[in-house]
Structure 1
Amino acid sequence: MSRHPILLHPAALAFEADADASILQAAERAGIALPSSCRNGTCRSCICRVLHGTAVHLIEWPGLSLEEKREGWILPCVAAAQGALELEAPLARRIAWPED
């Protein structure tokens, strides 16, 4: 299974995500908290903007407008990295060190 590096700005928090895992799940496994609530792409609590790289939504139509998608906004609770990814996530913070 391929893994992709993800970097969150401005905190410079880095982690890796499996290609089939949501970015939110991967962040939590790495001990990083992102705002979240519904975890199904409707509440928009986790909204982040892609700075570099590509992410794909795992559901057909997440709670984003077409314009927001064009501007690079994603919902990490229902999005997966397609390669190395840098996100603008100002509320991201480390919550714990991941267990080995």
Structure 2
Amino acid sequence: MTRDSSQQPPVFKGKVQDTGTTFAAPADQSLFASMRQAGIDWPVSCRNGTCRTCIGRLVEGQVAYDIPWPGLSLEEKRDGYCLPCIARPMGDIVIQRT
């Protein structure tokens, strides 16, 4: 089955709460990749969800991960923390640096 090329993934709105900077956040790429494309300086190292350098807190919105268990504890996930290097937006998001 081939994908209809006219059917693009949704693009959500992202915002860095600390600076008010906004960015386009396509559903099919990581938040970090989207922020980087927008020229936003966000710390990152491993880019696979293990080092936690990129950790941030979602003030609004939800994300999904392609890996079953990113490097976050249950409490951190419950409190809204995410790893932007591997987190994909599921809607509009507002993220805060930690």
TM-score, scaled to structure 1:
0.86
Identity across aligned pairs (percent)? 42
Residue 67 of structure 2 corresponds to 59
Match of 1:16 among 24, 32, 39: 24
Coordinate RMSD, CA, aligned:
1.0
1:74 has 2:82 as partner: yes
Q: Distance in 2 between matches of 1:46 and 1:12?
A: 18
CA deviations 1:29-84 (Å, max 9, x no partner) are 11111100000000000000010111112211111111110110000001011111
Residue 88 of structure 1 corresponds to 96
Q: Distance in 2 between matches of 1:4 and 1:89?
A: 19
Which secondary structure does the structure 1 equivalent of 2:77 belong to?
helix
Q: Radius of gyration: which is bigger?
A: 2
Alignment-mate amino acid for residue 23 of structure 1:
L
**TM superposition outliers: structure 1 runs of 4+ over 3 Å:** none
Aligned-pair CA distance for 1:6? 0.4
More strand by share: 1
Residue ranges of structure 1 left out of the alignment (5+ in a row): 91-100
Residue ranges of structure 2 left out of the alignment (5+ in a row): 1-8
Q: Distance in 2 between matches of 1:15 and 1:45?
A: 20
1:43 has 2:51 as partner: yes
Aligned residue pairs, count: 90
